[in-house]
Chain A
């Protein structure tokens, strides 16, 4: 069973087409991993599917780094 961190990073890797080793917890989706606005929306939707949760828009806007995504999932388990 993968940890939340591993699952989040896997989604980020698949969605943004970046290699696992390029992704750190501090990585910013836009600044470090080259995501555009559509990528970030898709990323949030992928997280919603993976963790079977709904992320409201105002919360989604605050998820800009890998760590923020992990934190969100952990605190909404």
Chain B
């Protein structure tokens, strides 16, 4: 059973890892629905997919609202069919040392990066159990296992996401649905571009491959876990980080 013609939902697909993942799934023949928080972002996704020659379109989605998630999943199901491949990628950072971290910085990162995974997974799992086939890939981070200064909120959300991945994998395994995570290291995206140069250079010394990863290098791992080739892998977190977190 290939993913050709299956509907794939990728949250946060207007740039970075999400966009690269949307294209990778499109290349494999999936109908790709990418989401963004703004109309212009959604239009860019539609346009980008069309330019690459892939099926699908962009939708506006606010992952911090269950109503938004429910209505978008309903709209996708009516237009294309139930999403059987879900990539929970949308995420934000609000870095601060714990001593200075405000409650809203904590809450918004947990809500956008972790609770969103609950919302989107819950809204889409019914379609997968009905189809007796499904793939969920949650985008974690190397920070979930290594920690990082100034990212107690982000690390907590990503570590939580990995636990969620294993629990959900057990719950739905009997329906031939796999749930996995990919934990990127430092990837050349807008998110890491925001890092100060000093921290950037220091990071490179910790990466055996001595460079940042490209979004496509994460997308390849996600696409593999979404493919039929990964049918016996579930509850796993695949580390894609240039060797910086070997265990």
Contacts and interface: CB of A to CB of B under 8 A. Distances in A.
B73 to A, nearest CB: 14
B contacts with A: majority SS: helix
B129 A42 contact: yes
Interface string B129-157: 10000000000000000000000000000
B172 A45 contact: no
Interface of A: 36, 38, 42, 45
A36 B171 CA distance: 11
Contacts of B172: 38
Contacts of A45: 126
Given A36-B174, A38-B171, 6 more contacts: A38-B129, A38-B172, A38-B174, A38-B175, A42-B129, A45-B126
Contacts of B175: 38
Interface residues of B, number: 6
Contacts of B174: 36, 38
A10 B175 CA distance: 20
A contacts with B: majority SS: helix
A65 to B, nearest CB: 22
Nearest to A49: B126
A45 B126 CA distance: 9
Contacts of B126: 45
Interface string B186-220: 00000000000000000000000000000000000
B124 to A, nearest CB: 13
Contacts of A36: 174
Interface in B46-88: none
Closest 7 CB pairs of A and B: A42-B129, A45-B126, A38-B174, A38-B171, A36-B174, A38-B175, A38-B172
Contacts of B129: 38, 42
A38 B172 CA distance: 8
B87 to A, nearest CB: 23
Nearest to A45: B126
Interface string B148-176: 00000000000000000000000110110
A42 B174 CA distance: 13
A38 B173 CA distance: 10
B202 to A, nearest CB: 47
A36 B173 CA distance: 13
A42 B125 CA distance: 11
A36 B174 CA distance: 10
A36 B175 CA distance: 12
B226 to A, nearest CB: 22
B14 to A, nearest CB: 33
Nearest to A36: B174
B205 to A, nearest CB: 48
Nearest to B171: A38
A73 B171 CA distance: 28
8 contacts: A36-B174, A38-B129, A38-B171, A38-B172, A38-B174, A38-B175, A42-B129, A45-B126
Nearest to B129: A42
